[in-house]
Structure 1
Amino acid sequence: MIKKVELLAPAGSRSKLNTAFHFGADACYVAGTKFGLRAYADNFDSDALKSAVEFAHTLNKKVYVTVNIFPKNDDFPALKEYFVFLNSIGVDALIMTDAGAISLCKSVAPDMEIHLSTQANTTNGYTAKFWAEQGIKRVVLARETTIDDIKRTKDIVGDSLELEVFVHGAMCISYSGRCLLSNYLSTRDSNRGECVQACRWEYKMTEASREGEPLTMIEDDKGTYVMNSKDMNMLLYLDKLISAGVSSFKIEGRMKSEYYVASTVTAYRRALDGYYKTGIYSPSESLIEELEKTSHRRYTTGFYFGARDTVCLDTSKPESDWLFIAEVKGYDESKKCIILEQRGRFKKGDVLEVLSPDENYLKKIVVDEVFDEDGNVIDDCKFVQQILYLKSDVVLHNHDVLRMKRKDL
């Protein structure tokens, strides 16, 4: 019997959490307004965290909270209060890095489950076993870990520790995230949630004695991406990770859109469910193509199959052939209309594609009649977040997504 693994999705806001669960995520990882490594995501205040946890538990799903900054001495009084609060609202686990913060958490919330963040750079079974002996329930392995490393680590830790790995999304050019580029170039501390992603900037290099003569390296007409990493995509190899002993598959992207969450969760959920049902792992072409419909850099399998000379370098910017057109808010039976919140421009005659967890997945809808909330006919829909009514017999549900292929291709 195939062991079922957790599908863990990013949620930088309540809307993204709702989307992730709607499309089949088993758990979401989120952050409060402090002590997480994504200071520029919307994140969750105390009331929002409590509400999110309660909502997840009604669905028999889980919420993990990231508390993975590298804290300074002055942070610990507030951390203590935060741990007590998170324990009181029933958070399922904390994702942490710092040994001192972990020790404090265990002293004030001894029953709280703790997962060790990838920031801790765990690359071997002996380190993983050490953390298990400290009461850690799960380790998020470093992205530099190979499948063979994972197998050997699982052999060492056995059932004493769960292993979690990233399977999709952006990769930090630094060793699992400990980077000072942002600090140096912008004074924003990447290890305290303020990374400006300086590794993604466009650079040209000039030799000191040849000013005005930029050197050509890996370059396109936009500049040189000397530190630009490809995005990870392990959709074709989930069975190998399961066999290696992985318990949770993690998708990167707390700062990405609801559309990204919907698309990536769809692909991985459907691929896993097909495996559980048939015992044969063979993702369909439509699922492989699904991951091409979100904005991304060129894909790589990272270090899972060993070091690759060009694994990190990419000359591209994130792009996609598809546009996020609308998030569905429901269906009006009396009007036979899909209720939607617009995200991208579309017009009468356009063909929209459905992204849904049910049988409506990949259905096409030709735009014919669209009305605003006052009943006015709209032929050119161009106002973001406007609530619209799209005439259609296709019954869609809250959090479904509509998208459209770019016309300029």
Structure 2
Amino acid sequence: MATTRKLKRPEVLAPAGTLEKLKVAIHYGADAVYIGGNAYGLRSRAGNFTYEQMAEGVAFAKEHNAKVYVAANMVTHEGNQEGAGEFFRELRDVGISAVIVSDPALIEICITEAPGLPVHLSTQASATNYETLEFWKNEGLERVVLGREVSMEEVAEIRRNTDVEIEAFIHGAMCISYSGRCTLSNHMSMRDANRGGCSQSCRWKYDLYDLPFGEERRSLTKNGEVAEEFSMSAVDMSMIEHIPDIIENGIDSLKIEGRMKSIHYVSTVSNVYKAAVDSYMADPENYVCKQEWIDELWKVAQRELATGFYYGTPTENEQLFGARRKIPEYKFIGEVLSYDEATKIATIRQRNAFEVGDEIEFYGPGFHHFEQKIEVMYNEDNESIDRAPNAMMIVTMPVNEKVEPGDMIRKRK
């Protein structure tokens, strides 16, 4: 049992739905990323990795002292486990740092058929007390991803009573169901949420209708209003204002949700939590949560933000229904490929349309930000253009400050 504990720098763990997102997350400060393989995951529509892509991702991560984990957290039915031993051996041999699993059958297969590959328990397994963590430790697991229903007080209690590594979600979308175990999607769209096919039925818009025979349906509640009367959708989580609690209470890995999110999201959120963790570890006594970190996260927010179950059971205020709060929306428009210091010209790959006259913002790792107006830009033939409408087209433009390859560009919608 753990009784005393030195302050330990937690890992910032970012989602990586594709190889590009993996590299972006690590470039922007993630200490580790989690990805999906071609089987056993819960994100069948994410850009799941081939073994060759995994090998490239692992090599890139090692160059930057980072780790790669693979989520294999589906709930198996009869026959689903066939081939799992070979799958886990491939992950081990390609250099994956750990596999995240929830199903006891897959855990047993991994431990017995792919020795040497560490196993982490998925949040889907609903670990919410230290006795559970001790059980899985005795089964050979070294880390547990806590159920999202665990409070900060319970985190502290768990840490006091076990030395198992604790991973917990600190940012991103929240599932409305207990530890993500939901069957709404199964019943409403014949897509198994626990085997990778969730259709997010909880995010759908619901209403109460009158359905007269032979006539169009008519809402009984809205009367032309756009506010949602019925919803099961939770707001998203953000723990940026509670970094001291997270670290002091012994969470070892700060998990960011979002394998299907954009590189704009991955880069921004990784950048923010990296900065916050580094700031706290450098001087805990004088740590202050900076407003610029909070503002930055709102630039990629899709929903309102709250703290989940950490400080009490969520109420109706943590649900999405009724009038929505207006969130400032930013569009990711490009990335810097190169920069010529002599001419102060940046070469940019377009990701969404932009044009001369737009006010844009450059940002990069370590919180180098600046804004400027596009005065002039050129295509690959060095011809002056007013607009960059074509996906992935290459343009050049003068910039007001030095930029680096990999810096991102966005504009407010």
Please give the TM-score of this superposition, normalised by the length of structure 2.
Answer: 0.92
Report the residue type matching 1:173 in the other structure.
I
Correspondent of 2:194 among 184, 191, 194: 191
Please list the CA deviations of residues 147-168 of structure 1 after superposition, one character each: whole Å capped at 9, or x if unmatched: 01111111221x2x10011010
Q: Is there any run of 5+ residues in structure 1 with no aligned partner, and where?
A: none
Correspondent of 1:348 among 352, 356, 369: 356
- Quick check: 2:362–2:369 contact (8 Å CA) kept in 1? yes
Partner of 1:366: 373
* Alpha-carbon distance in structure 2 between the residues aligned to 1:220 and 1:141: 40
Correspondent of 2:331 among 293, 300, 323: 323
Superposed displacement of residue 265, structure 1: 1.0
Partner of 2:151: 146
Superposed displacement of residue 308, structure 1: 3.0
* Alpha-carbon distance in structure 2 between the residues aligned to 1:214 and 1:177: 31
Partner of 2:55: 50
- Quick check: 2:85–2:114 contact (8 Å CA) kept in 1? no
- Quick check: 1:64–1:92 contact (8 Å CA) kept in 2? yes
User: Is 2:36 the counterpart of 1:31?
Assistant: yes
Partner of 1:97: 102
Moved more, 306-315 or 133-142: 306-315
Q: Percent identity over the alignment? A: 37
* Alpha-carbon distance in structure 2 between the residues aligned to 1:130 and 1:344: 49
Correspondent of 1:64 among 46, 64, 69: 69
Superposed displacement of residue 281, structure 1: 2.9
* Alpha-carbon distance in structure 2 between the residues aligned to 1:82 and 1:311: 43
Report the residue type matching 1:395 in the other structure.
K
Superposed displacement of residue 354, structure 1: 1.5
SS at structure 1 position matched to 2:300: coil
Partner of 2:345: 337
Q: Aligned residue pairs: how many?
A: 402
Partner of 1:396: 403
Q: Is there any run of 5+ residues in structure 2 with no aligned partner, and where?
A: 1-5
Moved over 3 A (4+): 206-217, 222-225, 316-320, 332-336
Correspondent of 1:283 among 277, 280, 289: 289
SS at structure 2 position matched to 1:362: strand
SS at structure 1 position matched to 2:273: helix
* Alpha-carbon distance in structure 2 between the residues aligned to 1:253 and 1:86: 22
> Is the alpha carbon distance of 1:136 and 1:388 closer, same or farther for their aligned partners in structure 2, counting shifts above 3 Å?
same
Superposed displacement of residue 188, structure 1: 0.9
SS at structure 2 position matched to 1:15: helix
Q: Counterparts in 2 of 1:2-401, with a 5 A limit?
A: 2-157=7-162, 159=163, 161-206=164-209, 214-216=219-221, 221=226, 223-279=228-284, 280-310=286-316, 312-315=318-321, 316=324, 320-333=328-341, 336-358=344-366, 361-392=368-399, 394-401=401-408
SS at structure 1 position matched to 2:156: helix
- Quick check: 1:199–1:227 contact (8 Å CA) kept in 2? yes
* Alpha-carbon distance in structure 1 between the residues aligned to 2:143 and 2:326: 32
Superposed displacement of residue 14, structure 1: 0.9
Superposed displacement of residue 215, structure 1: 5.0
Please give the TM-score of this superposition, normalised by the length of structure 1.
Answer: 0.93
- Quick check: 1:9–1:261 contact (8 Å CA) kept in 2? yes
> Is the alpha carbon distance of 1:358 and 1:233 closer, same or farther for their aligned partners in structure 2, counting shifts above 3 Å?
closer
* Alpha-carbon distance in structure 2 between the residues aligned to 1:236 and 1:199: 27
Superposed displacement of residue 17, structure 1: 0.8
